[in-house]
Structures are given as C-alpha cells and as structure tokens.
Structure 1
C-alpha cells in the first residue's frame, strides 16, 4: 500500500488553521473559506459558510493519524481498540486548538461527521448490521472523556472545585452551573424568596408545588439554589432539602435540571427510548447474556418500551428491579393519593408526568 493515503480516489481534505485565543469565530470561518478557494467556484464565501460554527467546518487531521487508522479506513475495516484510542487523542488535541473545552454538542457534531463518512470503521453496529442509536455513542463518549481528562488539571478543574465565578459553560453539559442573580434581585431579596418558599411548604406541603407563586419564586432563586449546591465541601442532602423542599418534588427537580442544562429530561428520555429502545431490545434478542434476559424477552412486547429496556439492562447487570422501581396498583395509588411513595411501573413517560400532576 502506498504511503500517500487516499480514500476512494479522493484527495486529502483541506485543513483550516484553528484560531488563536484572541481571534473570533467569524475570522476562523473566513480563514477556512480562503484556504479552500481553489475548490470553490467563487472566491467569496457564501452566506451559509459564514453562518456555520467551527464544529461544522472542522476538518479531521487524518494525515496525523496512525498508519493503522488510515489503513483501516481505506480497507473499510474496524481499527483495534488501542489504535482507536490513539485516534481519539489526536482528534481531541486538534479540537482543543479551536476551543479548550468543547461542549458535548460540539463533540457530537464532529463525531457524527466522522460516522457519516466512515461508518464501517467507527460506527456502533448491531448484529444485524443496523446502526445502534445513530452509531456515534461510543466514539462520542471516548472523545468527551478524553477532553475532560485533559482539562482535569487546568482551569476547568478549578471551576468545578471552587465557588468562584463560573463561565457560561461548565463541564458535563451545564450551561448555567453558577449563574448571576437576576438583574432586579439582590442577595437579600433572593434569600427572602427562599424563606417564602419554606413558609409555603410548611403550610401546604408538596401540594403547594402547583402554585404560580412557587413556580415564579423557584425560577427567581435558581442562582441561590446553585450557590448552595456548589458549596465546597458539598452540603448534605438533608441540608439542601431543608432549605429547598420544593426542589425535591418531581416538577421542580425536572425544572432545575432544564434550567441547568437546557434539556427537558422527560422529553429527552422519551426520545432516547424511541431512538435506542428497539436497538437495545434487538441486541439482547440476538445475544441474550443470561436467563433473566431470556425470560424478559419471552414475555413478548406487551410492556412499554421504556419498561422493557430498563428490565433488560437490570437483568443484564444482575440488578433487582425492585431496587429501582416500586410496583403497585395504579387505581389504588390514584384513589389513595399517596404521592411519591406510590410509583406505577407500567406507564409511558407522558402518562407518568400526568399522573404526578394528578397526585399533586
């Protein structure tokens, strides 16, 4: 095989020089456009190019990859785990030239482009040849873990271990790890709001969670919630619960997570089950790992997809399902209104959210 590597006769991709810390995203994209003028019909970059972010225009430095990786791609084969880890190291180093701590969404954009280009070499593939959950999960996890390991001893580690001012994006996908106070609020006023929430909870219990006043106060005090949670050393759960009792109700723990990450956790879980549930089921159907897995699969598909996936995963790892979910009669649970002590199992996520509203 020739040392000059190419795939399907195509020429090597044009690489863009990453911006330094003082250059803007626009100048980086303009640099990319100017370097690829020979392949463009016009020397002026189009509007669509200018609007693209750096992960979308990112070019993988394949020429810097180990020879084994390049050979595997050329032959349409999967590289060995050690060679794949070397590739991830090179990829992480190149991405960090654009941004020191790329977010999960930025990593996902880069990884998806790699999977689309070379699915035979890097995609997660089921026994029947179909892609598992888009095919990108394992490579995305490897890349994000590598980036976080590189940042562990740097300034981002300091952000996680101190109560100093955080940047707009911290690690693990948080977009509001430690936000500023709302413009119209002060430390004194948000503390007054917190005390008002305690008062409402003492008077009405968890039932007060549906009050519009509680919803408004929980949003206004989000920065104070984060300050208490981020305290070093970390507070006890009971201490947090005594200060923020509504935070331990389903509505506001989900709301807090959405404010923290910009992700609706129930909707995301529902979509993930739709996207990956059948692939997980088919994987275990093709390779059942123990008797409990076989027993669950033999029950057919009468159960909800979410329930079946949870059962299969817990059976695979030898975990007892009752350690995670309490089984009870739905009718008695609704009529008795016993709240969080009663969690019906065979419900879709949408039904569960409606059910929790009924109990409140």
Structure 2
C-alpha cells in the first residue's frame, strides 16, 4: 500500500509539473501572437498612412473593402459550403490590379494575419490546443491590443475548427512542388525577378494540378494557405506590389489564379458529358454512401461502381507497382494476356477511384493504356457491371440480329418512306458481296439510327483510310465516345479509331464490332452519360444487345424535360419486335 501511495504522489507531482509547463508555453505563445499582431498593425500604418491616391472611384474602393470583409466571413464559416458557382470558365488572371482603400474607413486586417503562423514541426493536435486561446486572431479581423482574447466567439471558432474533417489533414504535410517548376522559372524566382505571364500561368497550373492530386475538394482556404507559403518564399517575385508598395495581403492575385484554375479543373468541360459532381471531403455528407451522392446516370447499370476497400493483401504501393507493370506490358507485342487480365482485375479498385474522383481521359490513358484495349475494357466492364462486354454482345447479335434486320426491311420500310430511303442507301453501301456478322452489325447500327432519326455524326466520324491519330481533326469530333472510321464508309473501312472527350484513346481497331464495344464500354467505365442526340440508339443497344436492364434510372444526360426510366421510343420498338416474332428464332 505504501508503494501505491508513493506512486500516486509521484504521478500527481509529474502531472502538476507537466500542466504548469503547458500553461507556461501557452502563455508565451499568446504573448508572441500579440507581439506579432502589434508588429503587423504598425506595418500597416506605415504602408497605408498616408494612403496613396490611385485612379478609381470611392464606390470601387468601398466595393474592394467589402470584398475583403466577405472573404473573412467565408474563412470563418468555411465548413458551411454553399452551392457551387455557375459553370462558367473563369479567366485565370495574370498580374493583380490596383487595390484601393478609403482613407476614412477603418482598415481591415489582411488575410495573412487571420491565420496563425504554423511552426515547421507543429502537429495538428498542438495547433488545436493553441486555437482555444487564439482562434479569434486566426479567423476574425484583428482586435485592438486592449481587447481580451477570451471572447465568446473564441469558443465558437474553436468548435468549428475541432469539427474539421480529415480531408483538411493533407495540408499539414503538403509541400509546394518547387521541383516540378521549369528551370527557367526556378532561375527567375531565385534571382528575385518577376516571372513572365506565361511562366506564372505555368506555375499556377503545376501547383493546382498537384493540389488536386492530393485532394479532390480543394477549398479557397487551402488555396490561400498555399499562396501565402509561395509568396513568403519568393516575396520579390510573387508578391502583389506597385512601385514597392504591397497591395492588400500581397497574395490575393495568386489565390484567385489558383482558385480559378482549380474550379476549371473540377467543372465538366461540356454539357454533353455530364459527370458526377464531386462532393467536398469536408462537407457534412461523409456518412452518405458515394453511390447515393453520385448522379444516377453514373451508377446506372453498375454493380461495383464504388469499391470501398482494397483487395485483401493489397496496399496503395502494391497497386501502383501493378499499374506500372501494366504500362510496361502495354508496350510489349507478345505480352501474356492472362497476366494482363489478372493485373486489371487486381487494380480495379484504383481504376474506379481515379474515375470517380474526376480524373480526365488523357491522364487515364497515360496511366492505364491497357484499359483502352479490347481485353482491358472487357475486364473492367465485367467487374463494373457483371457482364462480359464483347461476349454478351456477340451472343445477342447471333440470337436477335437477323430478326431485327428482317423487321426493318419488311415492316419499317413499308411504314415510312424516309426510312425506306435510308435502308436503300445502307444496302447500296454494303453491297451484295459483303456478308458476315460484322457487316450485319454495321447495317443494324445504321438502321437503328435511321429508325430513331438520330444523326450518324453523333456516333461515327469519317476520315481518310491512311489517316493517323495525330492527323485527325479533334475539334470537329463530338465530345462523347465516337468511332472514327478510316474510310469512306464503315463497310469499306478496314481500320477504326476511338475518341473519348476528343482524345484518340485507341488508334488501331481492326473491326467495327470491337470499336462498337469499346465505345459502349466507355460510357460506363468513365461515367459518361448518353448524349440526347444518340439516346434512343444507345439505350436500345444497351437493353437488347448488351443485356443491361435496370428497373429504374436512366443513362441519358439531364435535360429540361423529365426523363423516364425507359425511353418510350425504345419501348415501342421492342413491343413491335415482340409482335414480329422477336423470340421465334
């Protein structure tokens, strides 16, 4: 018992000593922050008193002052994210304009003293402890020196910070990718010279891209912190100043350029291909399954749209190693196909994560070249939907293709003169000498588009038979997955290409059937919605030849009119085919 009592006394003594040290360090930190705030106030008075007269009206000055106040409120309430801005491509601005202040206004604190300066080795938990006493100096305009820092708003600010989601943690260890900068830019910064417009834009692109790789939901607060670090390292090269006078916080223009670039990277590049809106990691929907947050068009027909866990025994490092091995094998002419299949299945988790996070097609093509082959697309499609892409299609063509062509040539040709003319044109292009499954598929697809009165240009684009991938006029292609026909018609062509988002992802496809399966698989693999100009043809192929028949939902892009779970025109054709002995084969 005496030993236990002695142990208790020893523990109490050590705890008391530790608590005293903590409170002493806390008081010293508060004093340092107060001194820093006083120093910043003196600098501001020297900088802006007397204020320089710039060209502009007092109305513009007042507007700029209110914008600073609005930014402070946004920083204080960063957890309460609002609706995203309209999808307008914002100009990534160059050099800052003139910021003006009214002489008779009280100067608001610049953003650089709204957040406490982090020490290099300071951990997140240590910052949270100090936040209890200094949160007001970080999130609100600086109070006068006489103000007591233990204000009621401190507890509210502290609780807001304590509720930060883990998505903000990446900022704790984030390093600006200086090494990725071009050598010319590095030399300019080190020599304390102003970078050119081109160099500054390139710098913004590199940093924004690196930030998006670390987090898919970069906030304005994150952009502000990164801009502050960059300007602090190279103030003479990056700071906003006019004739030596620092304008605003000194990094406002860099924040705006970063934010505009990030928003442009997040937004969809086209209304035709509408992808899932990325949810902010720090939103209050963390307990909602990704499938429920996604657009219904993205998850439509999928059984493993979002994979929650890595395969057993796998790590992120092992996934990267296997991805690199796949890249190397894609360059080999005699690569083992079974090994490629196995690696594609084992890395399905990483593939889905990158697509669902909005990675663009160019990056996916560079990272997963095997994915855009017949084999790779079939493996991914089967994991995603549970169906073998090409095998399912060919089985259904063998069962239903002849009957569909017979229905078109007998029933539809008698009912519609316009369709009869289209059917005769297709027959002339095909000719009597061409036969076989591939030719039947070409005729079937062309007649389906004629039946639904949908333009062939939404699916097919013709180029010369000797045309290479680099010679294709990309800007004239649709943004949706498109088959590039190397020849005057798909019947005469012996080679095809595939374009997705105006990127040639496969330049040497030997058959039309393979190109059609790759095109269709791209809609599901990359979260692309059916364009309205091709919706009926694609849905009919989906239901009758690829055997994807969800009871609810649609893959068609959103429009002003309501979308039904099943296209009425597709339903009518299926009913007519049933009456035409569709199943009597």
Say yes or no: TM over 0.5.
no
Provide TM-score, normalisation by structure 2. 0.27
Q: Of the two structures, which has the highest relative contact order with CA contacts closer than 8 Å and spacing of 6 or more?
A: 2
Larger radius of gyration: 2
